[in-house]
Amino acid sequence: MATKTNAARILDAAGVVYQLREYEVDEDDLSAPHVAEKIGMPPEQVFKTLVARGDRNGVLLASIPANTDLDLKAIAAASGNKKVELVAVKEVLGLTGYIRGGVSPIGVRKAYPFYLDETAILFDVISVSAGMRGCQMILAPDDLLRVTEGVYAAIAK
């Protein structure tokens, strides 16, 4: 039985249908494509959540397919910033309450603006971290945006 994370409890409370999929964590390879392989989903359907900071509007979260990189110019434009940079790994836990490799867009410490790459709409379900290493949540992209109050944006390259 999968561990109920805070993110899973939030989905339960919102009445969202989802599935938890656990996998064995490889501390030497926390990459999103590796996670996709472990859970048996194509990398373009497994979304990694990155923490970034804009020069005007502060911290934001961006989820992009496992096999892509964040387009910093595009996320800046989408979020009303002039410039956006990824935060240092050492800042991730303090900002989100999650450790690197386990950042979920759901249940973060503070409600940051959330941007989901628009390619998510190509799939009935996508995978995001359940808020801990070794556990992914499979859910509909529209449900993810509903619980995070996020928006679709073209932010991956």
Angle at 95 between CA 45 and CA 21, to 5 degrees: 30
Which CA distances in Å does 35 have to 41, 60, 69, 147?
9, 23, 16, 23
Sketch the domain layout of the chain as residue ranges. 6-153
Q: Which CATH class is domain 6-153?
A: alpha beta
Note the pLDDT tens digit of each residue in 14-56.
Answer: 999 999 999 999 888 888 999 999 999 999 999 999 999 999 9
Note the pLDDT tens digit of each residue in 88-142.
Answer: 999 999 999 999 899 999 999 999 999 999 999 999 999 999 999 999 999 999 9
Q: What's the confidence (pLDDT) of residue 30?
A: 85
